[in-house]
């Protein structure tokens, strides 16, 4: 007996208010991911004084529990039966645990180094699990809202736009205010007493985004597929889960995501080091660069649906990912060749603005397309298994994303140790050789991972025609079943 309905959502265009509310929820993940990736290692290494490699290892260890939590949440979400449907109970319930874990993470008590590392591990587990309880069911709504091939790319474009806008707005708030300069402290990121307010404000933003999204999409519950309430053994549950995740298209997207999000994790975790020690940013520079990333996110929002229609999702994702690798490496290669403006030169910031905007446009476009392809895997799997497992598929994708964020932090800690980058370093005191080695290793690592992701995207096994044929077949089957009943 099947555990949930094989209902096919209509191929429709989502109303703008619903789309805005749905997309706004990703502000929560954008804030969490930006702060986690950009400041967590920096805070515990450069502010608290823990070794970078140890902090990275503690964060990576938290991923071991994610390997269980994320698929479990997706699986249980697919089978949740309530008057609020399958997804919304999880979305509402996640808000308070996220806020609690977040505030505790950034406010560690006075502990020994070993105890502080345990604190980082435990709070990272709490935050990651609570975020999964919201983000996995929320992502699973994408294929449920519409079966239209192009509309799914539009839905994902909204999600990524709000996710990046939320993270970058938090970046501006952090650099300009919460962790900004004050009398006697020109670099507020190094002042420990700034972090409690930073944690409280970011926690409040995440809770607001979650509740707005859950309430704003609540009216859609009656249109979404519902779980059938049937009993099944634990062994049968795991057998069903195993059959689902063996899907070839799903595994290809997981491999692409593994490569890209590892590259992104390293990039985010190194950004504070590069801004401070390579480009020697001053106070207003951080805000300007944050704006360049927001410009890139906006252009990706416009570009991804258009290139999807023109080139098809797999081919477009491949080219966007390859272009992202080029733009990331460009300023560092020009700098080593003596062709890039030096820190303090009036052309340095405009050049970085343009390059960063181009990189973000390409990388976000690729991930929008990849996420849209993940939504299309749902119907392919349904044809093969008779089940809709949106939660399982997006749990896998979300686990890879979080896993690579942690792996990126761990890899960054290893890179910093490899180039002998000192803890508690002051701007201008790090040996130029260490800075050069760091930028070379980062550029090469990012390029290798990005080109690997591009190859996996191109290998995705189907496009629009195949998807529409499956949707039609499923709809026809559902109609026949209704007529027989």
pLDDT of residue 231: 58
pLDDT: which is higher, 231 or 76: 76
CB atoms within 10 A of CB 337: 8
pLDDT of residue 188: 87
pLDDT of residue 233: 56
194: DSSP letter: G
With cut-offs at 50, 70 and 90, classify the pLDDT of residue 480: low
Sequential DSSP letters for 1-29: --SB--------PPPHHHHHHHHHTHHHH
User: How large is the average pLDDT for residues 349-374?
Assistant: 95
Q: In 3-state terms, what secondary structure has residue 485? A: coil
pLDDT of residue 3: 42
Tokens, residue 357: 């905007």
pLDDT at 127 over 90: yes
Q: DSSP H helical segments within 43-110, as ranges? A: 52-61, 63-78, 88-93, 95-105
pLDDT digits (tens, 9 = 90+) for 251-276: 999 999 999 988 988 888 788 788 88
pLDDT of residue 237: 57
pLDDT at 241 over 80: no
pLDDT of residue 146: 94
**Residue (of 401, 119, 419, 431) closest to 262 by Cα position:** 401
pLDDT of residue 232: 56
Instruction: Give the residue carrying structure tokens 């370093």.
Output: 425
User: How large is the average pLDDT for residues 425-452?
Assistant: 87
pLDDT digits (tens, 9 = 90+) for 395-406: 888 778 777 766
User: How large is the average pLDDT for residues 347-359?
Assistant: 94
Q: Distance between CA atoms of 87 and 224, rounded to whole angstroms?
A: 9
**Whole-structure pTM value:** 0.82
- Check if the beta carbon of residue 131 is closer than 8 Å to that of residue 29: yes
User: How large is the average pLDDT for residues 52-70?
Assistant: 82
Measured at the alpha carbon of residue 244, what is the angle toward residues 240 and 248, in degrees to the nearest 5? 150
Which of 86-95, 163-172, 193-202, 427-436 has the least mean pLDDT?
Answer: 427-436
User: How large is the average pLDDT for residues 198-223?
Assistant: 96
Number of residues assigned to the chain: 485
pLDDT of residue 223: 86
User: How large is the average pLDDT for residues 324-342?
Assistant: 93
Q: What mean pLDDT is reported for the chain? A: 88
pLDDT digits (tens, 9 = 90+) for 2-37: 444 446 788 889 999 999 999 999 999 999 988 987
pLDDT digits (tens, 9 = 90+) for 201-212: 999 999 999 999
pLDDT of residue 433: 86
User: How large is the average pLDDT for residues 112-134?
Assistant: 95
pLDDT of residue 228: 59
User: How large is the average pLDDT for residues 451-479?
Assistant: 90
Tokens, residue 172: 């501006």
Q: Distance between CA atoms of 53 and 417, rounded to whole angstroms?
A: 7
pLDDT of residue 419: 83
Q: What percent of the chain has pLDDT over 70?
A: 92
pLDDT at 482 over 70: no
């Amino acid at each position: 007996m099947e555990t949930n309905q094989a209902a096919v959502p209509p191929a429709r265009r989502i109303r703008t208010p619903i789309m805005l509310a749905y997309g706004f929820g990703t502000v929560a993940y954008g804030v969490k991911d930006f702060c986690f990736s950009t400041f967590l290692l920096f805070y515990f290494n450069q502010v608290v004084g823990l070794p970078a490699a140890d902090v990275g290892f503690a964060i990576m260890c938290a991923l071991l529990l994610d390997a269980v939590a994320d698929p479990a949440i997706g699986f249980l979400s697919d089978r949740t039966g309530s008057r609020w449907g399958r997804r919304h109970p999880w979305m509402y319930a996640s808000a308070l645990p996220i806020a609690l874990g977040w505030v505790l993470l950034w406010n560690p008590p006075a502990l020994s180094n070993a105890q502080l590392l345990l604190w980082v591990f435990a709070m990272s587990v709490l935050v990651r699990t609570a975020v999964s309880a919201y983000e996995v069911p929320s992502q699973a709504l994408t294929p449920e809202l519409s079966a239209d091939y192009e509309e799914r790319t539009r839905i994902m474009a909204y999600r990524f736009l709000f996710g990046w806008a939320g993270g970058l707005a938090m970046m501006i708030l952090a650099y300009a205010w919460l962790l900004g300069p004050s009398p006697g402290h020109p670099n507020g990121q190094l002042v420990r007493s700034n972090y409690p307010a930073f944690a409280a404000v970011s926690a409040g933003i995440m809770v607001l985004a979650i509740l707005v999204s859950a309430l704003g999409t609540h009216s859609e519950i009656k249109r979404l597929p519902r779980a059938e309430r049937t009993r099944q053994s634990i062994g049968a549950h795991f057998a069903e889960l195993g059959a689902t995740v063996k899907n070839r298209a799903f595994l290809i997207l997981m491999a692409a995501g593994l490569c890209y999000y590892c590259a992104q994790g390293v990039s985010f975790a190194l950004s504070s080091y590069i801004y401070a020690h390579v480009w020697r940013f001053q106070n207003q520079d951080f805000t300007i660069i944050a704006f360049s990333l927001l410009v890139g996110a906006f252009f990706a929002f416009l570009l991804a649906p258009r290139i999807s229609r023109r080139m098809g999702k797999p081919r477009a994702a491949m080219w966007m990912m390859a272009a992202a690798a080029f733009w990331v490496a460009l300023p560092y290669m020009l700098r080593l060749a003596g062709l890039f403006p030096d820190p303090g030169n009036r052309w340095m910031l405009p050049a970085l603005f343009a390059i960063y905007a181009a990189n973000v446009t390409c990388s976000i476009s690729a991930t929008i397309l990849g996420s849209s392809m993940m939504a299309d895997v749902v119907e392919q799997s349904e044809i093969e298994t008779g089940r809709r497992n949106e939660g399982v598929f997006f749990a896998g994708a979300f686990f890879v994303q979080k896993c690579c964020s942690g792996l990126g932090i761990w890899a960054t800690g290893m890179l910093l140790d490899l180039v002998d980058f000192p803890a508690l370093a002051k701007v201008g005191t790090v040996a130029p050789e260490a800075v050069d080695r760091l930028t070379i290793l980062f550029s090469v690592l990012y390029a290798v991972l990005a080109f690997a992701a591009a190859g996996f995207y191109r290998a995705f096994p189907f496009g629009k025609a195949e998807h529409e044929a499956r949707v039609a077949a499923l709809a026809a089957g559902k109609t026949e079943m209704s007529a027989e009943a």
